[in-house]
Amino acid sequence: MPKTDFEIRPVHESEYAALGEITVEAYDRDGFLDGPDDPYADFLRDVAARASEAEVLVAAEGDRLLGGVTMVPPGAAGAQLAGAGEAEIRALAVGPAGRGRGVGTALTDGCIALASETFGAKRVVLCSLYSMKAAHRIYLRRGFRRAPELDWEPVPGAVLWGFALEL
């Protein structure tokens, strides 16, 4: 893995609001929200709620957050797709300062390590909008496979593709 000038670590409570805004900004900038008031933006902003039932990791360069991700352990309430023995990646986002620096890959690797080493999961699953091509490249490079059996449409027009990684 290439040397980085940032670290992957658990989010601090004092960073919840900042990570929420980075996440909304990243999703909005890439056209994955209908503006910052999109109903899904409320979920993305609510890092405290996600952190209460899952592990939230950040990529940090000193005091500056570059991005973050939520890793839902097996059996936790925040899962959308995960079944027994499965962990789930949610809300991966990289802000402008972290783009093109391997932040998304490092956050994904952090999730895989948590799932395997801490949670003892047998599989990691996630869903991603069909149009999130940059994220798909990361997942496929990390060994995930497309899992069409996990595809779903939470609201009309929002087609989510499933991906899975056997551990």
pLDDT in tens, 41-55: 999 999 999 999 999
pLDDT of 82 above 90: yes
| Per-residue tokens: 29 | 């900038």
The residue-averaged pLDDT of 12-27 equals: 97
Is the sign of the CA dihedral 77, 82, 87, 92 positive or negative?
negative
> Is the per-residue pLDDT at 83 higher than 80?
yes
99: buried, middle or exposed (CB in 10 Å: 19+, 13-18, 0-12)?
A: middle
Q: Residues 104-114: pLDDT tens digits?
A: 999 999 999 99
pLDDT of residue 2: 53
Looking at domain 7-166, its CATH architecture is 3-Layer(aba) Sandwich (3.40)
Q: How does residue 154 score in pLDDT terms, banded at 50, 70 and 90?
A: confident
- Report which DSSP code applies to 121: -
Taking the model in full, what pTM does it have? 0.94
Instruction: Please tell me the distance from the alpha carbon of residue 23 to that of residue 140, in angstroms, as a whole number.
Output: 22
Question: Please, what is the average pLDDT of the chain?
Answer: 94
Predicted confidence at residue 147, as pLDDT, reads 98
Using pLDDT thresholds of 50, 70 and 90, give the confidence band for residue 142: very high
Burial class of 127 by CB neighbour count within 10 A (0 to 12, 13 to 18, 19+): buried
Domain boundaries, the chain: 7-166
In the predicted structure, residue 124 carries a pLDDT above the cut 80: yes
The Cα–Cα gap between 33 and 134 comes to 16
Q: What is the pLDDT of residue 1?
A: 47
